[in-house]
Amino acid sequence: MIRRPDLDAMLTGKTIEEAKACKEDYLRAYDQAILPIRGRISAEYSKTVFMNLQRDFMEGNVI
């Protein structure tokens, strides 16, 4: 996971219900902030995988 304190602040101090309400905004902001580098796999694929993992993590942790 990529740490982004500026984006994490969107959820810090929120109740679970408040965090659920802003989850899509949070994921959208993360999606815009990620600038993957090219490597053995395409940058777009890397970004897609990361965003899927981020969403799965949030949903698995009640958000």
- pLDDT tens-place string over residues 2-61: 678 998 899 899 998 999 899 999 989 988 888 777 666 788 888 888 889 988 988 887
In angstroms, rounded to a whole number, what is the distance separating the alpha carbons of residues 53 and 1? Answer: 9
pTM above 0.75, yes or no: no
CA distances from 4 to 40, 41, 42 (A): 25, 23, 23
In angstroms, rounded to a whole number, what is the distance separating the alpha carbons of residues 33 and 59? Answer: 20
Residue at 52: amino acid letter: N
In angstroms, rounded to a whole number, what is the distance separating the alpha carbons of residues 8 and 57? Answer: 14
For the chain, what are the domain ranges? Answer: 5-60
Alpha helices in 1-63 (DSSP H): 5-8, 16-33, 43-60
